[in-house]
Amino acid sequence: MTKKAGRRSLVTLTTAALALSLLAGCGGNNNGGNSANGANSGEGGNAGTPAATESASTAAPAETGIDTSKKVELQFYMLGDAPKDLPIIQDEINKMAQEELNATVKFNYTSWTDWDQKYKLLLSSGQAIDLIFTADWTQYQSYAKRGAFLAIDDLLPKAAPELQKFVPESMWEDVKVDGKIYTVPATYKEYVTNGFVYREDLRKKYNLPVPKDLASYEAYMDGIVANEPDLMPMSLNSDIGNNLHYIYTELNKMVGALPYGMGVKYESPTTVYSYWGSDEQKEELKTMKRWADKGFIPKNVLNIKDTMQDPITSGKAASMFGDNPTRYNDMKMKISTTHPEWELAYSPFGLTTGYATPVHPIHNGFAIPKSSKNPERALAFYEKLVLDKRYNLLTQYGIEGKNYTVENGYYKLVGTSTSNGFSREGMNGWAWRNPEYMLFDQGFDGVKAIFDELDKIQKPDLFLGFAEDYSSYQAEKAVLEQVEKQYLFPLQAGLVEDIDKGLDTFLQKAKQAGLEKIQAEWTKQWNAYVAEKGIK
Partner 1 sequence: MRQRTRKTGTPLAIELPVQGGGPAASPLGAGTIKKKKKGFLHELIHNRVLFLMLLPTLLFFLVNSYFPMVGVYYAFTQFDFNSGLFDAPFVGFKNFEFLWKSGTLVKLTLNTIGYNLAFILLGNVLAIVCAILLSELRVKWFKKLTQSIMFLPYFVSFVILSVIVYNVFNYDSGFLNTLLARFGAGPVDVYNKPLVWIFLIILFYLWKNLGYSMVIYLAAITGISDEYYEAAKIDGAHIFQRIWYITVPMLKSTFVVLLLFSLGSIMKGQFDLFYQLIGNNGVLYNTTDILDTYVFRSLKVTFDIGMATAAGLYQSLFGFILIMTVNYIIRKINDDYALF
Residues within window 50-79 making contact with partner 1, judged by CB under 8 A: none
**How many residues belong to the site for partner 1 (CB under 8 A)?**
76
Footprint of partner 1 on 397-416 (CB under 8 A) = none
Alpha-carbon gap, residue 86 to 339, rounded angstroms: 31
Alpha-carbon gap, residue 32 to 427, rounded angstroms: 31
Measured from the CB of residue 125, what is the shortest distance to partner 1 in angstroms?
9
Footprint of partner 1 on 332-371 (CB under 8 A) = 370
* 28 vs 65, beta carbon nearer partner 1: 28
Q: Tell me: does residue 482 bind partner 1 (CB under 8 A).
A: yes
Q: How far is CA 377 from CA 73, 98, 148, 286, 533, in A?
A: 9, 11, 19, 56, 33
Hey, what's the torsion of the CAs at 375, 376, 381, 382, to 10 degrees? Answer: 60
* 487 vs 522, beta carbon nearer partner 1: 487
Could you say which of 46, 57, 64, 117 contacts partner 1 (CB under 8 A)?
117
Produce one character per residue of 87-118: b if its CB has 16 or more CB atoms within 10 Å, e if not.
Answer: ebbbebbbeebeeebebbbebebbeeeebeeb
Which one of 20-28, 263-271, 424-432, 446-454 is the stretch in contact with partner 1 (CB under 8 A)?
20-28
Q: Tell me: does residue 418 bind partner 1 (CB under 8 A).
A: no
Could you say which of 49, 69, 207, 303 contacts partner 1 (CB under 8 A)?
303
* 417 vs 486, beta carbon nearer partner 1: 486
Q: Tell me: does residue 534 bind partner 1 (CB under 8 A).
A: no
Measured from the CB of residue 198, what is the shortest distance to partner 1 in angstroms?
21
Alpha-carbon gap, residue 200 to 84, rounded angstroms: 35
Local structure of residue 479 (DSSP, 8 states) = H
Could you say which of 300, 417, 442, 527 contacts partner 1 (CB under 8 A)?
300
Q: Tell me: does residue 168 bind partner 1 (CB under 8 A).
A: no
Give the count of alpha carbons within 13 A of 427, CB side only: 28
Residues found in the chain: 536
- Partners of 348 in beta bridges: 195
Which one of 7-15, 185-193, 355-363, 455-463 is the stretch in contact with partner 1 (CB under 8 A)?
7-15
Could you say which of 385, 479, 518, 530 contacts partner 1 (CB under 8 A)?
479
Q: Tell me: does residue 5 bind partner 1 (CB under 8 A).
A: yes
* 263-267 contact pairs (CB < 8 A, 24+): 264/463, 264/526, 266/353, 266/355, 266/459, 266/462
* 27 vs 534, beta carbon nearer partner 1: 27
* 167 vs 247, beta carbon nearer partner 1: 247
Could you say which of 131, 285, 368, 495 contacts partner 1 (CB under 8 A)?
495
Footprint of partner 1 on 499-528 (CB under 8 A) = 509, 512-514
Measured from the CB of residue 299, what is the shortest distance to partner 1 in angstroms?
4
- Per the CB < 8 A criterion, the answer to whether 494 and 293 are in contact is yes
* 45 vs 50, beta carbon nearer partner 1: 45
The amino acid that residue 21 corresponds to is S
Who contacts 422 (Cβ-Cβ below 8 Å, separation ≥6)? 83, 84, 85, 86, 89, 397, 398, 399, 403, 404
Measured from the CB of residue 308, what is the shortest distance to partner 1 in angstroms?
14
Q: Tell me: does residue 19 bind partner 1 (CB under 8 A).
A: yes
Sign of CA dihedral 441, 446, 448, 451: negative
Footprint of partner 1 on 31-50 (CB under 8 A) = 31-32, 34-35, 37-39, 41-42, 45
Who contacts 279 (Cβ-Cβ below 8 Å, separation ≥6)? none
* 408 vs 474, beta carbon nearer partner 1: 474
* 148 vs 163, beta carbon nearer partner 1: 148
Could you say which of 220, 470, 522, 526 contacts partner 1 (CB under 8 A)?
470
Which 3 state secondary structure label does DSSP give 192? coil
Measured from the CB of residue 290, what is the shortest distance to partner 1 in angstroms?
18
Helix ranges restricted to H, 456-514: 474-483, 489-492, 499-513
* 25 vs 340, beta carbon nearer partner 1: 25
Q: Tell me: does residue 228 bind partner 1 (CB under 8 A).
A: no
Local structure of residue 180 (DSSP, 8 states) = B
Footprint of partner 1 on 132-161 (CB under 8 A) = 146-148
Which one of 153-161, 264-272, 277-285, 302-310 is the stretch in contact with partner 1 (CB under 8 A)?
302-310
Helical (H) or strand (E) element with 315? none
- Partners of 405 in beta bridges: 412
Footprint of partner 1 on 236-255 (CB under 8 A) = 238-239
Measured from the CB of residue 6, what is the shortest distance to partner 1 in angstroms?
4
Q: Tell me: does residue 315 bind partner 1 (CB under 8 A).
A: no
Q: Tell me: does residue 486 bind partner 1 (CB under 8 A).
A: yes
Exposed, middle or buried, 71 (CB in 10 Å: 0-12/13-18/19+)?
exposed
